[in-house]
Each structure stands twice: as C-alpha cells, then as structure tokens.
Amino acid sequence: MYLFFLAQGLDFTQIAALEAIYNLTTLVGEIPTGYVGDRLGRRNSLLIGTTLISLTLLGIGLASSFLALAVLYVCWSAGYNFRSGSEDAWLYDTLTDDLSEDEFAHVRGRGESVSLAIGAGAAITGGYLGSIDLSYPWFVAAAVTALGVVVLLTVEEPETYEQTETAALTFRRTVGIVRRTLAQRNIRAFVLYYYVLYAAVTYLVFVFLQPIFETVVVDFGVAETQVRSLLGWFYAAYSLFGAGLSYYTGAIRDRLGLRTWFLWLPFVVGGALIGMYFVPVLALPTFLLIRGLSDVTRSFAGQYINDRIETIGRATVLSAMAMVSGFAVVPFQLTSGVISDAVSPLFALAVAGVVLVACSLGILLWEAPIERIPEEPTDS
C-alpha cells in the first residue's frame, strides 16, 4: 500500500496525513455508525460497510493524486466505521445465544487465524501482482471484499439482539450508555492504556513497515527490483505467524490470563521498537512479533470490554472504543510523518517506543488498567 503511495509521488508527511484523515473520519463517524448497528441491525451495518469498502478499494487503485486519495480515505474509514463495532457485537451476541460468551476471545482468535492463514497466500500473490503494477492488488482486493456482501446476505441477527428493545433506543440514550461505560473505573484506565496508547503506537508500525523493510533488505544486497515480490513473501510469513498465535488465543488466555498479558505487553513492544533503531536487522523479527501480538491482543480487549457492557448499545460502545483510538493516533501519525522525513522511519518508531514505555508506566502508577479476573491464573 505505502509503496503504491510513494509511487504516486507522495512523501511520508502526505502518507501520514492520509492516515490522519482516516482516523479523523473514524472520530466523527464511529458513534453514529455504531448507533446504526444497534438500532437497525448488526448485519445491515456490516452490509453497508462492506459495500463501501469494496468500492473504495477500486477507487484507490484508479487514483493518482493526493486529493483523490484523501477523499477515498474518508470513504474507506466510513466503511470500517460501519463494521468496527457491529462485527464484535454480532459475534458476542451470537455466542450469548448459546451461553458461550466466555469463549469470545477463543472463537474470535480462531477466526482471525483462518483469515491470516488465507491472507498469507494472498500476500504472495499481491507481491507478484504489485511487481507488475501496484494498482492490481487494489482491484483484486475490491473484488474479494465484494464477495463478503454475498456472505453477509446468508447471516441472521442473533436472538439476543432481536429480543432487545431497539425501537426505543434513541441516539441520545446511546450516547449516554457510552458515557457511563467510559466512566467506569475498570474501563477508563484500560481505554487509555490499550485503545489510546498501545493501539496508536502499534498503528505506526503498520504504516512504516514497508519503507523500513525496503531499506533493510536493500542494505543486505537485495536488488530493488526484487523488493516488491519479496515483500509479498514477508507478508505471508507475517500473516502465518499471526495466524499461529491467534489460533491459540484461548490457550494463551488460560495459561497467562488477560491481566498478565496486558501488564507486560507495552514494555515488550516498546523495548523491541527502541532496539531495532540501534540494530536495524531486528526490524524484521520485531514486525513479526507485533503482527503476532496484534490480533491476540485485539481479541483479549474485545473480551474484556464485552464482558462489562450490555447487549443494548453494545455496537456503539465498541465503536466508541475505535473512535477513541482513532482520535489518539492522529498526533502520533502527524508527528511520526514529520520525524520520518527529517530523520528516518526507524527513528520515528524508536521515539514511539520510548513514549509507549514511559506513558504505560505512568498509567500503571495512576490506576491499574485491568482488574484481576477471578477465574484467571493466580500468578497473573
């Protein structure tokens, strides 16, 4: 994606600006689209979002200017706005129908594992398509995403959702539910710790992976003409590593517990980001590590929040979490873009690592971001 943007003549600051536009749209759109998911149905919200994303991917493949890409990024973000809260809300409520809501992280992790495993083959294909023309992967992605519309037409709403009084759910009441949720002691620190700080920093890793990968492999003697196809193979390994960890999401939770996972997480990731600045070759295993941790952590975060909210307003609350994250990442994106142009992307990520470690420590000293779960291991 970012090689495509660079090929269109964009610099790192403009790429960071596109990401900021994406997240500002998330900020404005998450609660209204979450309300759609709560009021009109999870499936309807997913249908709208998937259709919009498919059309946007097609448009990006045809775009050739920063202005066009900026408009399309607004549409892209809006598409994910419709999907972000409704996906997890649909899954959690569906599991609730079978009294299996405690298995949310496990089931979501298995789903992510399948997705990433299939994505490994797609990454290799995309790498070779990109070596022919960087627009081709966008066109294929648009077509595959469109198949999701067909799949969603076979999906039913959970009984747990249908039994709620959604007709009486006003937008004002929904906003009130979100406000009360974020004010809870066992949620507010967690939102800062994960949705604001950790999510913002790791988002930068995905932004700068491609240019850093190119720099590292070229320094090792790889010809620049081979970088795009090699990048596809790296993304395959990247996806497979994430698939392996995601598959064992439930086992990781049983062994470590959510509390231990989240207390150690920012310090491991932050230390890795700092270390790869001094030893650039560490960037490749660091990217694999963060990829592997990403989906497992997202599943754990979804489990933790879902367990503490009600069915009514669930999609909006989950969308609000994405909104908070989207707002927080904007200053990180803009600052990192400027630092990358002035120094290098590696230095920008090292600075982000320092911020992650320092601010995580500050939050821990202020308030525990995640309460001890009774059924978790006692050593957590």
Q: With pLDDT > 70 as the criterion, what percentage of the chain qualifies? A: 94
* Higher pLDDT pick, 3 / 313: 3
* Cβ within 8 Å of residue 279, ≥6 positions away: none
**CA torsion, points 215, 333, 28, 307, in degrees to nearest 10?**
80
- pLDDT of 134-151, one tens digit each? 999 999 999 999 999 999
Q: Which two tokens stand for residue 230?
A: 């090699």
Q: What is the pLDDT of residue 249?
A: 86
The C-alpha atoms of residue 149 and residue 181 are separated, in whole angstroms, by: 32
Tokens of 326: 């989207």
Cα 42 → chain centroid: 19
Q: Which amino acid is at 249?
A: T
Q: With a cut of 60, say whether residue 377 has pLDDT above it.
A: no
Residue 212: left (phi > 0), alpha (psi -120 to 50), or beta? alpha
Q: 308: helix, coil or strand?
A: coil
Q: Which of 9-23, 146-160, 199-213, 312-326 has the lowest mean pLDDT?
A: 312-326
CA 79, 85, 91, 93 dihedral sign is negative
Average pLDDT over residues 60-70: 91
Confidence of residue 68 (pLDDT cuts 50, 70, 90): very high
pLDDT-derived band of residue 380, with 50, 70 and 90 as boundaries? very low
Is pLDDT at 228 greater than 80 in this prediction?
A: no
Rounded distance between C-alpha atoms, residue 265 and residue 327, angstroms: 22
Q: What is the pLDDT of residue 373?
A: 58
Whether residue 375 is predicted with pLDDT greater than 60 in this model: the reply is: no
Closest CA to 300 of 244, 252, 251, 258: 258
pLDDT at residue 87, rounded to an integer: 83
Of 33, 93, 117, 18, give the one whose Cα is nearest residue 63. 18
Looking at per-residue pLDDT, the higher value among 32 and 365 belongs to 365
Mean per-residue pLDDT for 48-57?
A: 95
Q: Is the pLDDT of residue 342 over 60?
A: yes
In terms of Cα–Cα distance, which of 24, 17, 28 is closest to 66? 17
Q: What does the alpha-carbon distance between residue 352 and residue 331 come to, in Å, rounded to a whole number?
A: 11
254-274 pLDDT per residue, tens: 888 888 999 999 999 999 999
CA 236 – CA 238 distance, rounded (Å): 5
Residue bearing tokens 């990403």: 294
Averaged pLDDT for residues 227-244: 81
Give the pLDDT confidence of 179-216 residue by residue, as tens digits. 777 777 778 888 889 888 998 898 888 888 888 888 88
In this structure, is the dihedral angle defined by the CA atoms of residues 122, 277, 252 and 357, taken in order, positive or negative?
negative
- pLDDT per residue over 321-334, tens digit each? 777 777 777 788 78
What 3-state DSSP class applies to 11? coil
The percent of residues above 90 in pLDDT, for the chain, comes to 23
For 327-360, give one letter per residue: b (16+ CB within 10 A) or e. bbbbebbebbbebbeeebbbebbbbbbebbbebb
Interval 263-292 mean pLDDT: 91
| Mean pLDDT confidence for 32-55 | 86
Average pLDDT for the chain = 84
CATH topology of domain 2-162+169-366: Growth Hormone; Chain: A; (1.20.1250)
∠ at Cα 141 (140, 147), nearest 5°? 95
